[in-house]
Amino acid sequence: MKLAQVYTSTTYAAVSAVGVVIILIGFILYSLFDLGQALNFTDIAAQETEDLILVVLIFFTIRLIAGLIFALLAADQKVSMIGLVDLLTNVVSLVCIFLLKQFTYDSLFLVGFLFSFVIAFVPLVASFWFFSSTYSKFVPNLKYVNFKHAKDLLKLGGNFFFLQGAVIILFFSNNIIISAILGPEQVTIFNIPYKYIGIITMLSVIILNPFWTAATEAFQKDNFNWLRKTSRNLVIIWFLLSLITLTMVIVSPIVYHFWIGNEVHIPFTITTLVGVYVALLAWINTFGYLLNGIGKIKIQLYAYLFAAIGLFPLAYLLAQKLNFGLEGILVANILCILPAGILVPLQFWLILNKRATGLFTK
């Protein structure tokens, strides 16, 4: 039990140290570069953008550290709790959308601050909750920190750590990108269909969560028949979820009418593109969760890093330079995760048929 607390304490200390370095680098870049002016924003928008990027970086780092509780939950085969925390994050985000709509604050900084705060605050509260109850014996403590274990711990969990970071950047940066490029008023137009169609994402995660740990056991026992049968069943479930997504897109004007009335107009193209994005993400997760279970995540790591790095420049090009607006940002999201939509299922198929080589084996 003491060794487990040593591992937990050392992991939190090591990741916190990395977080401090990230924030220090952020402060240095903040003082040296004028990003807002480089992107041709007005003086006010430029200053807001620079301030917001620094704030987001701080909350992003907090989220990475607080998110370590998910690794503990996954190791304890309580992945359903991870889905619950994600659900609570979405609910709080919806409350923020409602409040922003009620008070109609036209502030890029406020919008970005609220959404960044939510994604850091909910996992942080969850961490305190679990460490004060279920995992009270594993509470991180400075006296148990032993950096002799840090190298091995980061070697084992480093890929998951960076994968989590890339996913956080990718999936939670849209509000900031939209605010910075198009203005805060477009955030509501994006978030309403995103939260509405996002029900499918939450549902798919709830369905897939139990298969993470089950895949681990099957792979350890060399039970490839189970993996093959399960993947086929999950593809059928994905197809059914895609049909539900299509139905939700078709009836969305009716839903919006009863939900928000005539206060905000949501273009049908926006809902359609969100539907495509959510269906593609569910497709990736169908195989990604199984690969996570068997510990083969390098392809996902590189694919999501590529997506996270490429999202802002591509969104800026399509939305501002080519004048595609919000639709351009959504197309950028789809294009950025498309490589993962091809490579992740391919990796699973190669491993399943024992034909994987090189990077596809990792």
> Using one digit for the tens of pLDDT, what is the confidence trace for 222-269?
999 999 999 999 999 999 999 999 999 999 999 998 888 777 889 999
Q: How confident is the model at residue 151 (pLDDT cuts 50, 70, 90)?
A: low
DSSP code of residue 46: H
Predicted confidence (pLDDT) per residue in 29-47, tens digit: 777 776 655 555 545 556 6
Q: Which pair of structure tokens corresponds to residue 265?
A: 């107009």
Predicted confidence (pLDDT) per residue in 43-74, tens digit: 555 667 777 778 888 888 898 888 888 878 87
Q: Is 274 exposed, middle or buried (0-12, 13-18, 19+ CB in 10 A)?
A: buried
Q: What angle do CA 35, 36, 39 make, to 5 degrees?
A: 85
Which pairs from 237-245 meet CB under 8 Å and 24+ separation? 237/204, 237/207, 237/286, 238/204, 238/282, 238/283, 238/286, 241/200, 241/203, 241/204, 241/279, 241/282, 242/279, 242/282, 244/200, 245/197, 245/200, 245/275, 245/278, 245/279
Question: Within the chain, how many helices (H) and strands (E) appear?
Answer: 14, 0
Q: What is the pLDDT of residue 255?
A: 93
What b-and-e string marks burial along 164-185, b requiring 16 or more CB atoms within 10 Å of the CB? bbbbbbbbbbbbbbbbbbbebe
Nearest to 244 by CA among 199, 208, 280: 199
C-alpha–C-alpha distance, residues 32 and 95, integer Å:
36
C-alpha–C-alpha distance, residues 287 and 310, integer Å:
23
C-alpha–C-alpha distance, residues 34 and 137, integer Å:
47
Q: Which pair of structure tokens corresponds to residue 291?
A: 């690969």
Contact present, 83 and 206 (Cβ < 8 Å): yes
Give this prediction's pTM: 0.82
